[in-house]
Amino acid sequence: MQQALMQTYARLPVSFERGEGAWLWDTDGNRYLDALSGIAVCGLGHAHPAVTRALQEQAERLLHTSNLYGIPLQEQLAAKLCARSGMERVFFCNSGAEANEAAIKLARLWGHRKGLERPGILVMDNAFHGRTLATLTATGNRKAQAGFGPLVDGFVRVPFNDLEAVDAAARDHGNIVAVLAEPVQGEGGIRVGDVDYLKGLRERCDAHGWLLMFDEVQTGMGRTGSWFAYQQAGIVPDVLSLAKALGNGMPIGASLARGEAAELLQPGSHGTTFGGNPLAARAALAVVDTLERYALAERAAELGERLQAGFRERMGALPGVQDIRGRGLMLGIELDRPCGDLVKQALAARLLINVTAERVIRLLPPLIISDDEADRIVDTVSDLVQDFLASTADN
Ligand SMILES: *Cc1c(COP(=O)(O)O)cnc(C)c1O
């Protein structure tokens, strides 16, 4: 049946038809533990009753009216997200790439307002910001960019976690107006931005009058143990991108801003047909309420420690395991060799995981997992890695 699809994904040979909490059932009735959450989307797990009820009620009432009219649910959601994040205004869209497109457009407006004809945005090695042309250009992955030239002008790339490189870029490029970065790089291999690095970015942005723009599409909504990852560095950005977990599977993205950055877009300067429609906004409101009610960001921090401690105990001494890292429920286990085959081996063991940056096992379990489910992830992954390292040892 997949002949009718553009072949953008080398899909695994399994299809799911039902989910509940951290579990998925395939079309043959087999049950899988989901340690990936649809790539950090289903933070509340599958078929969460609060989201299901919100969608059911809203579907019976009103799906869409367009942004030509007031949308009270969108306004309520914006107010809640601003209160949690320290931002002041929100533009809703439908995906992470669109949220970052809005951020990039804000930076351009910011630059032009300063009288710069060709404003530049500082982006990082190994960054991932999406697949539209501008966000693909901002993405630090040559393979993802190959064949899509000409790319978009106006980006300057520096190594991640390197403040000296930021200072050098500031000296070399007089046109920089913003920094776009993930506080924890996801696709790039669960690379954690040091607290001092994130603080240092804030200082540089203040010193130079740049916008600090965090892409929290993957890290946001409690995933890293706080509502937003930057909160662990005690700073606030000027612009914030959200998507993935915001709707728990209902597509919705958001670009948030504060201060002068929040006033840059005016009627006619940006827009969207679907963005923030009543159905999507209602789902996201249910997500926000559930994160609040069950203190799931705090729970993610606790579970992250449990998982990291478990992995260190089971695998810390294995020579093939180079690093165990992450924040909250965004975890990476870096091996000394390519390990893409582990994804299929895990699938056979009825566990869903991901491998990114060739050698990094990426785990993004839902925030609602139990301690027992977390321990099960530790056991299964540790067994798989042990077998994998033994079977691929070069001797
Ligand atoms: C997934 C992701 C994106 C892109 O989101 P889409 O919804 O696929 O467009 C952007 N930035 C980060 C950090 C992501 O993880």
pLDDT tens string 173-188? 999 999 999 999 999 9
Report the C-alpha gap between 391 and 159 in whole angstroms: 34
Average predicted confidence (pLDDT) for the chain: 97
The fold adopted by the segment(s) 2-47+296-391 is Aspartate Aminotransferase, domain 1 (3.90.1150)
* Ligand 1 lined by 186 (C-beta under 6 Å): yes
Return the pLDDT at 190: 98
Alpha-carbon distances of 113 from 89, 109, 263, rounded to whole Å: 19, 6, 12
Among 184, 217, 356, name the best residue to mutate to test ligand 1's pocket (greatest count of ligand atoms within 8 A of Cβ).
Answer: 217
| Overall average pLDDT of the 54-70 stretch | 98
Return the pLDDT at 394: 65
Return the pLDDT at 78: 98
Residue owning the nearest CA to atom 5 of ligand 1: 96
Residue owning the nearest CA to atom 15 of ligand 1: 218
Residue owning the nearest CA to atom 11 of ligand 1: 129
CATH 3.90.1150.10 location in the chain: 2-47+296-391
Which tens digit of pLDDT belongs to each residue from 311-334? 999 999 999 999 999 999 999 999
Return the pLDDT at 395: 46
* Cα 56 to averaged position of ligand 1 atoms, centre (Å): 27
* Ligand 1 lined by 366 (C-beta under 6 Å): no
* Ligand 1 lined by 252 (C-beta under 6 Å): no
* Ligand 1 lined by 96 (C-beta under 6 Å): yes
Return the pLDDT at 43: 98
Which tens digit of pLDDT belongs to each residue from 236-283? 999 999 999 999 999 999 999 999 999 999 999 999 999 999 999 999
* Ligand 1 lined by 215 (C-beta under 6 Å): yes
Which tens digit of pLDDT belongs to each residue from 349-373? 999 999 999 999 999 999 999 999 9
- For residue 157, which amino acid is it? R
Rounded (10°) angle between helices 278-293 and 72-85: 40
Residue 144 has pLDDT above 90, yes or no: yes
* Cα 99 to averaged position of ligand 1 atoms, centre (Å): 9
* Cα 176 to averaged position of ligand 1 atoms, centre (Å): 23
Domain 50-293 in CATH 2.60.40.1230? The answer is: no
Q: How large a percentage of the chain has pLDDT more than 70? A: 99
* Ligand 1 lined by 97 (C-beta under 6 Å): yes
Query: Active-site residues: which are they?
Result: 128, 215, 244
- List residues bridging with 33 in a β-sheet: 23, 351
* Cα 9 to averaged position of ligand 1 atoms, centre (Å): 16
Distant-in-sequence, close-in-space partners of 159: CB < 8 Å, separation ≥ 6: 124, 125, 165
Which tens digit of pLDDT belongs to each residue from 194-214? 999 999 999 999 999 999 999
Among 8, 129, 190, 250, name the best residue to mutate to test ligand 1's pocket (greatest count of ligand atoms within 8 A of Cβ).
Answer: 129
**Global pTM?**
0.98
CA 383, 332, 374, 14 dihedral sign is negative
DSSP codes joined into one string, 338-361: --TTHHHHHHHTTEE-EEETTTEE
CATH 3.40.640.10 location in the chain: 50-293
Minimum-distance ligand 1 atom for the alpha carbon of 251: 7
| Overall average pLDDT of the 91-117 stretch | 98
Q: How large a percentage of the chain has pLDDT more than 90? A: 99
